[in-house]
Amino acid sequence: DGGITQSPKYLFRKEGQNVTLSCEQNLNHDAMYWYRQDPGQGLRLIYYSQIVNDFQKGDIAEGYSVSREKKESFPLTVTSAQKNPTAFYLCASSIARRRIPDTQYFGPGTRLTVL
Amino acid sequence: AQSVTQPDIHITVSEGASLELRCNYSYGATPYLFWYVQSPGQGLQLLLKYFSGDTLVQGIKGFEAEFKRSQSSFNLRKPSVHWSDAAEYFCAVSGTYKYIFGTGTRLKVLA
């Protein structure tokens, strides 16, 4: 079945640690996205990538980094510079019609907790 | 600036009652509009989308939405709510290279 997988489902981080969240898709989509979700704030865009080896900052990129070495993979690293990383993280992918994203397909999410 | 507003943070309805969730957008060009649903601790699932054509769009689970350009609205409706519809609902507009999401409306269904 085609879809998006995220791992792990739950992740715990100690202060000062970097952690990496995995996102893989087998939908053959060019575009991929990372969102952060906090209660009452909806989804906020962290990074997005339209094509392999290229990505752009979203609205809240500080303290995060990404890579896009393969079409199907878009890992997100939460660095120690992110002061309040506890949140629910969602990865998504889509086809882009002339720069306009079509339906976004979402993974099941990773809940990150800082201990 | 492009934006999406969902004015209702929480809505409570009784099972079997009708439902309307409001969404207003600000976007310079003809928008691509979406409604997604999220169950607790899960990812988002597409309910329906509007690109062009008929302004009344049918989606999954008995939902529909109507695009009204004059009001910059894309409200979601369901004639009879089921207990399983309790979830959070997000409206979104597709901009250049990315989406703009509303802050969501949490729906509670009373038995």
Write the pLDDT tens digit of every residue in B53-110. 889 999 999 999 999 999 999 999 999 999 999 999 999 998 888 889 999 999 999 9
Three-state SS at A110: strand
Q: Select the residue from A24, A32, A37, A112 to test the B interface by mutation, using most B Cβ atoms within 10 A.
A: A37
> What value, to the nearest 5°, has the Cα angle with vertex A60 and ends A15 and B50?
135
Neighbours of B11 (CB within 10 A): 16
pLDDT range class, residue A72, cuts 50, 70, 90: very high
Residue B49 near chain A (CB below 8 Å): yes
pLDDT range class, residue A1, cuts 50, 70, 90: low
CB contact under 8 A, A102 and B46: no
Q: Out of B41, B42, B99, name the one closest to residue A104 (CB).
A: B99
Cα gap A19→B22, rounded to integer Å = 38
Q: So what's the pLDDT on residue A41?
A: 81
CB contact under 8 A, A100 and B95: yes
Cα gap B111→B98, rounded to integer Å = 38
Q: So what's the pLDDT on residue A40?
A: 77
Neighbours of B86 (CB within 10 A): 17
- Residue showing tokens 């597709």: B94
Confidence check: pLDDT of A85 > 80: yes
pLDDT range class, residue A96, cuts 50, 70, 90: confident
Confidence check: pLDDT of A100 > 80: no
Cα gap A68→A52, rounded to integer Å = 5
Confidence check: pLDDT of A29 > 90: yes
CB contact under 8 A, B34 and A106: no
Neighbours of B35 (CB within 10 A): 25
Three-state SS at B70: helix
Q: Say if CB B66 and CB B56 are below 8 A apart.
A: yes
Q: So what's the pLDDT on residue A99?
A: 74
- Residue showing tokens 């994203």: A101
Neighbours of B13 (CB within 10 A): 17
